[in-house]
Chain A
Amino acid sequence: MTPEFRPPRRLNVFAFDPSTARSFANCNARTVKITLPYELDPPDLGKPFYGPKGKYVEVVDFDPASGAFYAPVNLNDDAVMFNDGLPPSPENPQFHQQMVYAVSMNTIAAFEEALGRVVQWAPTEKKIERKGKDPEWTYDFTRRLRIYPHALREANAYYHPAKKALLFGYFTAGPDSTSAPSGTTVFTCLSHDIIVHETVHAILDGLHPTFAEDANPDMRALHEAFADIIALFQLFSFPSVLEEQIAKTRGDLSRQNLLGELAQEFGQAVGRGCSLRDFLGSVNEHGVWEAQEPDPTKLRDATGPHDRGAVLVAAVFRAFLTIYKTRVGDLFRIASNGSGVLRDGAIDPDLKRRLASEAAQCARRVMRICIRAMDYTPPVNVSFGDYLRAIITADRDLFPEDAQGYRAAFIEAFASWGILPEGIASISEPALCWPTLDIAEADRQALRGISEDMSWLDKIHSNLGLMLSQPRKMLSHFASPMSIDGEDRRARYQEEVKRAQVEAQQVGILIHDRLTRFNDASTTMTVKEKVPARALQLDVNLLEVDDSRDREIVYHASSHYQRLLWLLMNSASSPRFAELTGLTFSPDAPATVRRSRTTLLPSLHVSAVRIARRQGQRGQPEREYVIEVIQTRRGYFDPDRQAHEDARPIDPKDSDRASDFKFRAGTTFLVDARSFKIRRLIRSTYAVDDPDGLTACRAYVDGTDAQAANAFYSGRSSRAAAFADLHHPPHIKDGFR
């Protein structure tokens, strides 16, 4: 049966955690209906849809603590399908499965809409032991994120980066619980807030795997705060959940701050969550909730991901409120005959609905701005200041005129909370924008007191253009012998070429497979089933084939370009280019800067080549490529040891040498998809060979390492445990830090 149109899938979920026994006033808004776009998981109505296991996620309901499995829901079952899913009920584990599926998919939809491409999970890493050789790490496409709604029996839920899984816990509410009655079971997988939060961790990890590192005070905080911001605005984008609160304000524009109270209530899932929204406001001595005035000193004094993250959440929320109030000012005037002050009593229901829908739209808008900014950050070692610059630049590139004052609102909110990039003299939109290539080059020349033609950049652009649009030719150019000495290094180089080739062939094979499916029915012509992989290697822009909806094709295309770009940068990089981009190619860089085993020069890790599609002010499609390059240096706590290691003879094998921490730096390039010109350069604050960057990183890592949360171990946690520990903040009170 072919559906006549592309029906979206609608599913019921809880907006408020049902176990938290909230006030009766909210009972209308307790559930909401999520509408998932058709193309995310196109329903195949003839077949059951167990799990749910779709193209992005698979829900597996195993409860190891109870030694029990729970049967998967079938969302295509008629009784389920035509009732918008199972009715919300905490008693039925199948509803839990439906809820984690619906909410996580809805979050994915929000990201795809904002970024204009499919969401990818972080690649699956596998260590392959090889006899007599160093173990090899392989990276592969991660098809689905696993979701376990009942994996833990504790008040925790987290994204597990190594397992590519979300683990949700359940627990019995304790006497300290603020909202759930003592003795009842609380399921974290029934909290809309927590599901979105964990899904965002997974998505951000796919976008920027290095952001889970803990190399400066802001990185974990940014992960936490970003997850929390999206969780909050995702809920605010349902107008129905806002209506009650807006009605309470009885049409007083200044009291629209009360939305912050609602935001905090959402965060009050039992056991965790509220702390990130602490700075939105609090209940005063008269028992009345009050918004908190921004305090630029808070960030300076805050330590730890939660305290710092709370400042970022407060800043973004402030920007949201400003935007919202600006947008509804006219509604208030219209409804009050121009005075702007409504009469006392209940608010007009039409006005209430209009206000709620404006607020929901603002929430979506702010959320999109926040998500898009993640393509505009340095690839590593990011700070809150960088994130502000990313927000402003991303929005400005899309909407050159700040007609509605959104960017002004963000700048004001961030500045009033003390979030500012380091070394920026004035807080203005142009100053905050990341430099364009021309500006960066002009600065480079001025700094070195030279004045030369900028035409050398044309060569770089034409190389980029050829690489992207004729990848096969470019690769065969690199495959021919190069000035690489030594058998071992030549073999490594050829291996790199081979790997790039394999990725490109994967793209071809996947597209070919699709074509062979027509064979069954076709009578006029058939596609040959067996074709040598070489013949399938396309010589077109692989990032744009097949409308880029197939995540596996997109993965291999990106991965191909990452390898190809590595070959390109290693074959044609000039000192000028290094100076311009903040990358280091010099053989004289300290020995602790990781070296390539192929070139013996400082190694480059091309961590991403991806496309971003957006709709501009006039509705025109805008496309650009985002390219990220990372460099790494070994760091040591003891400065003498560092000096000693820096002065060692260069040995590329040293990349495996033990070190106390890793210092990373890098640059993001934004490349125009039509002209292949680099539009902007987004450099991390320090270059990889910058001693100041190393010192700052050392101070931070050393400090957190010494901070113990318990009587035995270090205060730092591994990448695998990053998120599990993040949600168990240590409670240090009177101890030494």
Chain B
Amino acid sequence: MTKPPTPRIKAPKSGVRVRMYRQGHGDCFLLTFRRSRGAKPFFMLIDCGRKKGSTPADLKDKDIDMDAVIEALWVDTGGKLDVVVVTHEHEDHVSGFPKAGDDSHPFSKFHVEDLWLAWTEDGTDADANRYRELYGDKLLTLALAHEKLRALQGVGAPDGVADEIAEFLELETGHRTGAEVLKEACIEMGVAPRDISAGPEQAFAAARSTKIRGKRYKERLAGLRSMVKGEIKFLSPGDPPLPLKGVKGVRVYPFGPPRDQKLLTSLNPHQSEEFHIGPFAMGEAGAGLFAAFASGTEGATSSPFAPRFVIRQDQISDSVAEDAPPELAYLSRTYLAEDDADQRIDGDWMGEAEALALRLNSEVNNTSLVLAFELEKSGRTLLFTGDAQRGSWMSWSDLSWQVDGSTVTAKDLLARCTFYKAGHHGSHNATLNGTLDSPHANLNWMAQGAYAQDFVAMVPSNKTWAWGKSRPWRHPMKAIEHALINKTKSRVLMIEPHEPERHDAHSGAEFDAMWAAFTKATKAEEFAIEHLVEDTEPASGET
């Protein structure tokens, strides 16, 4: 093992240095604090991942990819990370971590002291286990839908849906086909290989029968867990504020993920137990898919009609004999008529799969560990939301802590927020809109009074790549980008384009001092964009 070099990054005089790495579309944040003793800085890494193929163009031109960025992180930190935080298990947050036993992986040589995870990863937590089980079934449903869509090869299926679902499967699991996901699920549960080779339907049934408990990038997290030298902490909202070992004057408040199942799944709350189809509340996106898959595997169909009415699909072929019953002949001649192939609908019912994929993605996003860092001296706070969406934001207004004998609420903390890591790359529903009086947390709860002078936002998005996709991802969404530009007075930092841009509305001379201070605290480098949040009282009075 190579000897850890001296860290390139120096500890700030006070406060925290935030570095957003430019590995691609995804999160990788390094927070550097000053230790109360010794010159060695305290390093905390929040996530390390990106969506495959999203390297910024300027790095790509120089053949720099993920490994090189991790190498840069190694140089920056000297290879020792005091805390690694994983917000949630999506490709764009964890793909930079090694699988267990993968010693050639550039991250494997790091020293990881402590690991912080959300309570939803705790294998001893009953709620978390139940949640993961539901998740597992939904993921299998999506995987099987993807296989079915691929099998149709475009006949009677909506355009492009299979490719889009492949993207989401990759976000969830790292695999681009449903078959791979099903296969892996089976192998992991020790299901006999013949079940896998018999076809996706059988794999689905086998994997379900053994109750897989989610698969989301499990191996990456397992790999990371095995590297931990210190302890693994599972955080719940409302836990007492955490200190950073050896650092004075910083408190970390866990905000999310919510314990409330309703808010965790955000959309349709699972109301009563009886009315579920497998993991789905009835009428929910995916329920129809699951119902069709779960009962239609062994000969029987999942038809809502009595068996006497059912003609199995394979009885209708284009070679139905001349003297066949006229009903069969009718179906064969109309539905399978070559001239009318464009009118077939074999796959339209799986249009729901896209809704399911989006929903699954949102649900996992909502399991994001959300942390607020408080710099005690100045009271400034920094908010890191992972990809938390609406349900998580809604839950924060209920949070409060007892600190030094007084009550601190999430609203108090947000009012002093001068740094915001935008949720889910600035997408819809991951930064909420509202006013200071709204009952739920939102952008306008942040940076009140004097703290508004210094408000900065980082959006971990390769906007050029996301918006340039053949079906663009709205990361960041225009309305949110504009709201952030307004609220921060142009102090928005992105992965690409990565030079800070001063917009016309803030180009007047009255903003010159603000902009000078901001650029002084900010560095846009090749591998990362850095911004320093000092633990100093915000300038007061002026507007």
In the complex formed, the residue of B with least CB distance to A702 is: B478
**A93-B331 Cα distance, complex, nearest whole Å:** 14
- Whether A68 pairs with B311 at a CB distance below 8 angstroms is yes
Q: B432 — which chain A residues lie within 8 A by C-beta? A: 734-735
Residues of B438-494 whose CB lies within 8 A of A: 438, 440, 442, 471-475, 477-480, 483
**A165-B473 Cα distance, complex, nearest whole Å:** 30
**A713-B161 Cα distance, complex, nearest whole Å:** 13
- Whether B335 pairs with A60 at a CB distance below 8 angstroms is yes
Q: Is A66 an interface residue (CB 8 A)?
A: yes
- Whether A67 pairs with B296 at a CB distance below 8 angstroms is yes
**A171-B355 Cα distance, complex, nearest whole Å:** 16
- Whether B288 pairs with A171 at a CB distance below 8 angstroms is yes
In the complex formed, the residue of A with least CB distance to B293 is: A65
A710 CB, nearest partner CB in chain B, Å: 5
| Count of chain B residues with a beta carbon within 8 Å of a chain A beta carbon | 82
Q: A609 — which chain B residues lie within 8 A by C-beta? A: none
B169 CB, nearest partner CB in chain A, Å: 14
Q: A71-B309, A175-B275, A271-B283 are in contact. Are A735 and B302 (CB under 8 A)?
A: no
Q: A170 — which chain B residues lie within 8 A by C-beta? A: 304
User: Number of contacts between A and B (CB, 8 Å)?
Assistant: 219
- Whether B348 pairs with A152 at a CB distance below 8 angstroms is yes
Q: Is A5 an interface residue (CB 8 A)?
A: no
- Whether B282 pairs with A72 at a CB distance below 8 angstroms is no
Q: A65 — which chain B residues lie within 8 A by C-beta? A: 288-289, 291-292, 302, 349
- Whether B287 pairs with A711 at a CB distance below 8 angstroms is no
**A173-B268 Cα distance, complex, nearest whole Å:** 14
Q: A58-B334, A151-B349 are in contact. Are A68 and B291 (CB under 8 A)?
A: no
Q: Is B343 an interface residue (CB 8 A)?
A: yes
Stretch at the interface among B35-43, B178-186, B312-320, B520-528: B312-320
A422 CB, nearest partner CB in chain B, Å: 27
Q: A736 — which chain B residues lie within 8 A by C-beta? A: 428, 431, 433, 477, 479-480, 483
Q: Is B274 an interface residue (CB 8 A)?
A: yes
Name the one of B302, B312, B473 contacting A713, with C-beta atoms under 8 angstroms: B473
**A721-B427 Cα distance, complex, nearest whole Å:** 23
Binary interface encoding of chain A residues 57-79 relative to chain B, with 1 for a CB under 8 A from any of its CBs, else 0: 01011111111111110100000
Q: B271 — which chain A residues lie within 8 A by C-beta? A: 175-176
Residues of A61-105 whose CB lies within 8 A of B: 61-72, 74, 91-94
**A707-B306 Cα distance, complex, nearest whole Å:** 44
Q: A711-B362, A712-B358 are in contact. Are A68 and B301 (CB under 8 A)?
A: yes
Binary interface encoding of chain B residues 374-417 relative to chain A, with 1 for a CB under 8 A from any of its CBs, else 0: 00000000000000011001100000000000000000000000
Q: A70 — which chain B residues lie within 8 A by C-beta? A: 305, 309-311
Name the one of A68, A165, A271, A706 contacting B303, with C-beta atoms under 8 angstroms: A68
- Whether A183 pairs with B282 at a CB distance below 8 angstroms is yes
Stretch at the interface among A155-163, A276-284, A489-497: A155-163
- Whether A50 pairs with B326 at a CB distance below 8 angstroms is yes
**A34-B323 Cα distance, complex, nearest whole Å:** 34
Residues of B190-209 whose CB lies within 8 A of A: none
Q: B230 — which chain A residues lie within 8 A by C-beta? A: none
Q: Is B4 an interface residue (CB 8 A)?
A: no
Residue of B315, B472, B477 with most chain A CB atoms under a 10 A cut-off: B477
Q: A175 — which chain B residues lie within 8 A by C-beta? A: 271-272, 275, 281-282
Q: Is A623 an interface residue (CB 8 A)?
A: no
- Whether A711 pairs with B424 at a CB distance below 8 angstroms is yes
A207 CB, nearest partner CB in chain B, Å: 21
Q: A64-B346, A69-B331, A736-B428 are in contact. Are A174 and B281 (CB under 8 A)?
A: yes
Q: B303 — which chain A residues lie within 8 A by C-beta? A: 63, 66, 68
B262 CB, nearest partner CB in chain A, Å: 13
- Whether B434 pairs with A734 at a CB distance below 8 angstroms is yes
- Whether A734 pairs with B474 at a CB distance below 8 angstroms is no
In the complex formed, the residue of B with least CB distance to A731 is: B267
Q: A734 — which chain B residues lie within 8 A by C-beta? A: 390, 393-394, 429, 432-434, 438, 440, 442
**A436-B257 Cα distance, complex, nearest whole Å:** 66
B319 CB, nearest partner CB in chain A, Å: 15
Q: Is A714 an interface residue (CB 8 A)?
A: yes
Q: Is B69 an interface residue (CB 8 A)?
A: no
Q: Is B347 an interface residue (CB 8 A)?
A: yes
Q: Is A586 an interface residue (CB 8 A)?
A: no
**A165-B349 Cα distance, complex, nearest whole Å:** 14
**A174-B271 Cα distance, complex, nearest whole Å:** 10
Q: B304 — which chain A residues lie within 8 A by C-beta? A: 66, 170, 185, 187
Binary interface encoding of chain A residues 717-737 relative to chain B, with 1 for a CB under 8 A from any of its CBs, else 0: 000110010001000111111
Q: Is A557 an interface residue (CB 8 A)?
A: no
In the complex formed, the residue of B with least CB distance to A53 is: B334
Name the one of B159, B312, B334 contacting A60, with C-beta atoms under 8 angstroms: B334
- Whether B283 pairs with A152 at a CB distance below 8 angstroms is no
Q: Is B351 an interface residue (CB 8 A)?
A: yes
Q: Is A26 an interface residue (CB 8 A)?
A: no
A53 CB, nearest partner CB in chain B, Å: 7
Residues of B239-272 whose CB lies within 8 A of A: 268, 271-272
B344 CB, nearest partner CB in chain A, Å: 8
In the complex formed, the residue of A with least CB distance to B148 is: A64
Q: Is A326 an interface residue (CB 8 A)?
A: no
- Whether A706 pairs with B315 at a CB distance below 8 angstroms is no
Q: A711-B362, A734-B442, A735-B428 are in contact. Are A153 and B349 (CB under 8 A)?
A: yes
Q: Is B54 an interface residue (CB 8 A)?
A: no
**A337-B347 Cα distance, complex, nearest whole Å:** 65
B477 CB, nearest partner CB in chain A, Å: 6
Q: B511 — which chain A residues lie within 8 A by C-beta? A: none
**A155-B365 Cα distance, complex, nearest whole Å:** 26
Q: A154 — which chain B residues lie within 8 A by C-beta? A: 285, 287-288, 349, 352
- Whether B327 pairs with A71 at a CB distance below 8 angstroms is yes
In the complex formed, the residue of B with least CB distance to A705 is: B478
- Whether B311 pairs with A152 at a CB distance below 8 angstroms is no
In the complex formed, the residue of B with least CB distance to A736 is: B479
In the complex formed, the residue of B with least CB distance to A718 is: B159
Binary interface encoding of chain A residues 261-294 relative to chain B, with 1 for a CB under 8 A from any of its CBs, else 0: 0000000000100000000000000000000000
Q: Is B277 an interface residue (CB 8 A)?
A: yes
Q: Is A708 an interface residue (CB 8 A)?
A: yes
Q: A163 — which chain B residues lie within 8 A by C-beta? A: 342-345
Q: Is A146 an interface residue (CB 8 A)?
A: yes
Other contacts beyond A163-B344, A707-B479, A710-B362: 8, CB < 8 A: A70-B309, A94-B309, A160-B348, A183-B275, A711-B389, A712-B358, A714-B472, A735-B433
Q: Which 6 A-B pairs have the closest CB atoms?
A: A153-B288, A174-B283, A736-B479, A174-B282, A708-B428, A66-B303
List 17 A-B residue pairs with CB atoms under 8 Å apart, sorted by A's residue number.
A60-B335, A64-B347, A65-B302, A67-B313, A69-B312, A69-B335, A92-B309, A172-B291, A175-B272, A707-B479, A712-B473, A720-B159, A728-B355, A734-B434, A735-B433, A736-B480, A736-B483
